[in-house]
Structure 1
Amino acid sequence: MTGKPTLAHIAGLAGVSVPTVSKVLNGHRDVAASTREQVERIVAEEGYERPQRTAPRPRRSRAALLDLVINELDSSWATEILAGTEEVAREHGMHLVLTAVHKSPTPDKGWLESLTARGTRGVLLVLADLSARQRTELQRLSIPFVVVDALGRQDPASPSVGATNWHGGYSAVQHLVALGHRRIAVIGGPEQMMCTKARLAGYHAALEVAGIAPDPRLVRYGDFRHEQGYLHTKALLALPSPPTGIFAGSDLQALGAYQALHEHHLRVPDDVSVVGFDDLPFAPWTAPPLTTVRQPLREMGALATRMLISLIRGEQLTAPRAELATNLVVRGSTATVKRGQ
């Protein structure tokens, strides 16, 4: 190249980001040794003129902090994610700062200022999202983020972790089909969520393979909570031809289905089979034990945290997207359909 080498030129030769080169030049310690050595070698070879070092700013926090933004904290689902995240963070001497966004998909306006003030090193988004301004500001500050279970369609280059939701939906419905069920209802999560869309796509694929015509009246959308499973099951039972099998988009919605079926004096699985999704710790202890699709929530939280720590260190990820396998766990809530049903 002609003229003085730039940060972008050095980053291109080293195969790293401009912020990573800047961290090396400014003596930050959160860069892998191999990456640091490579950048230092190229800086020397290219004759890059280092900027005048200014006095370092005082650190705002002694602890290395990660921000975890999650849609809720009051369920076993959230507890499993947090367990995996906290374990990996603790192994690396880091602490978590929790923010629950509840009904809003994004943290409030004050979150970004608080995050900056406490010196957060990276962000985990669990069923949560950022505004365009928040994303831009994190990029400007060189604070990486990793998404767990994206709410909507993500930029393929954005680091994210999920599960094989399509396969999970397919295996749940295929299991019910194998037991002779033909009228199979599904109670999904929020319609716009990517995991819901993938599970519904698996549901429809299993019906198509079995030669079963889909009935739109058997497709319902909830919010993954107990009450929605209960209300939708009551509505399904009021149909002229109610389902003999129900695939719930979460174990909590499956419990709601249990309650509605009990109130209608129907037995699980003798009258209606039920399949959940998640395999939360209580699933084996329901009556009857719940057949469900296991989603490796703890492992998802752990993997997302490892990815985030790698990004903080200036390391490149093998791939920006990781999907962990789901598998069907058959217990006592599913059975062969009765004749005449």
Structure 2
Amino acid sequence: MPASPRRATLAMVAASAGVSVATVSKVLNGRGDVSPVTRSLVESLLEQHHYVAPPQRRRGDAAVPATIEVELDADLNAYSTEIVQGAVQAGAEADAAIVVSIRTNADRAGAWARGLVTAGRRALIAITSELTAGQLAALSRVRLPLVVIDPLNLPQTRGVTSVGSTNFAGGLAATQHLLTLGHRRIAYLGGPATAACNQARLHGYRAAMEAAGASVPPGYVRAGHFRYRDGVTGGAALFDLPEVPTAVFTGCDDIALGVLEAARARGLRVPEDLSIVGFDDTQVACMASPPLTTVRQPLREMGGVAVRTALRLAAGERVDSHHVELATELVVRGSTAPAPPEGSPGHGGTAGAR
């Protein structure tokens, strides 16, 4: 179908599909009273026409407040809740509405992007998302500004704006803290190997270990997901190694809590036999027993920066940088202590009671 020389309208799409404008509108709004065959045809034509919903209308003389979509790939957890809190606060200060959602249909990139625009979203903020080239292209076609927080992959498309923290510096500080306490057998238990934030934390860990002349034996670096259960299984695997680590630096607080549980199950005391450092400094870090030493990410500030940046992009303004990094800070609590002496459960070839 030849490209339309002017902005596509619902009437144009309806005429191409041989259906009514009302039917096209139902497809755009996700109504269920449309047959699968008709829905597929209309969605295909919307894609071909590069249809974009018109801008929101005004109510009287007052402009409708901007609405920003904050989208996650999975359920809210301690990490994402902090970011959302910061985003909501920043939205209130800017008189903007914040809508939080979990992505469900991003495999149909065109329909997903058009749906956001049709719903009146002025920009999209994606938290720890892995965005495909097709999704980025779909957002570009509908001209919806995008800001990514802690992206799991580094978008190759130029101009994608992201917000994160000084992950390398955080990994370096966490590992140096353990080295200063006399630990040399330090493991790293992180998130997905391809995640940009995880790679930076791992590089900080390796840089500190290399500078101290501390070796990293096989099995001491493990990738998983940023989840509690990965800490449990990953911690158990570390404790089965011939040389059990005396300290574990983890890629997030949830993983650290999982390692705490794995240590408890093996009869290891924290921090007497094993020191643990997390990353994020979410609320669960203070609730842990013992309270968790961790690297603080300014999560609420990251959410606020993302909203303010998204609003600037939605207004057509230029931003000073396409990537913003906020400073991290090591917070020392009760889960770290000097390395255990030789012969203790944390220094042998086994990991205490099985």
Equivalent in the alignment of 1:59: 57
SS in 1 for 2:71: strand
- AA of the residue aligned to 1:312: A
Q: How many Å separate the matches in 2 of 1:130 and 1:278? A: 22
- AA of the residue aligned to 2:322: P
Equivalent in the alignment of 2:116: 115
Change (3 A) 1:57 1:241: closer
SS in 2 for 1:180: coil
- AA of the residue aligned to 2:246: T
Q: How many Å separate the matches in 2 of 1:57 and 1:338? A: 64
Percent identity of paired positions between Structure 1 and Structure 2: 42
Equivalent in the alignment of 2:350: none
SS in 2 for 1:282: helix
Deviation of 1:248 (Å): 1.1
Where does 1:108-147 land on structure 2 (aligned, <5 Å)? Answer: 108-109=108-109, 110-147=111-148
Equivalent in the alignment of 2:234: 232
Aligned partner (choices 298, 306, 328) of residue 330 of structure 2: 328
Instruction: Tell me whether 1:207 sits opposite 2:205 in the alignment.
Output: no
Change (3 A) 1:316 1:113: closer
Q: How many Å separate the matches in 2 of 1:257 and 1:249? A: 11
Instruction: Tell me whether 1:261 sits opposite 2:259 in the alignment.
Output: no
Q: How many Å separate the matches in 2 of 1:58 and 1:242? A: 60
Q: How many Å separate the matches in 2 of 1:71 and 1:97? A: 14
Q: 2:114·2:142 contact (CA, 8 Å) conserved in 1?
A: no
Q: How many Å separate the matches in 2 of 1:58 and 1:216? A: 57
SS in 1 for 2:80: helix
Task: Give TM-score, length-normalised by structure 2.
Answer: 0.76
Q: 1:101·1:128 contact (CA, 8 Å) conserved in 2?
A: no
Alignment RMSD (CA, Å): 2.0
Deviation of 1:292 (Å): 0.4
SS in 2 for 1:216: coil
Number of aligned residue pairs: 284
Task: Give TM-score, length-normalised by structure 1.
Answer: 0.78
Q: How many Å separate the matches in 2 of 1:308 and 1:157? A: 13
Equivalent in the alignment of 2:92: 90
Q: How many Å separate the matches in 2 of 1:261 and 1:58? A: 55
Equivalent in the alignment of 2:184: 182
Q: 2:165·2:325 contact (CA, 8 Å) conserved in 1?
A: yes
Unaligned runs of at least 5 residues, structure 2: 1-53, 348-354
Greater shift, 71-80 or 264-273, is seen at 71-80
Q: How many Å separate the matches in 2 of 1:204 and 1:224? A: 20
Q: Deviations over 1:182-239 (max 9, x none)?
A: 1101100011100010000001000001001221311111211110001011111111
Where does 1:214-253 land on structure 2 (aligned, <5 Å)? Answer: 214-253=216-255
Q: How many Å separate the matches in 1 of 2:58 and 2:145? A: 18
Deviation of 1:324 (Å): 0.3
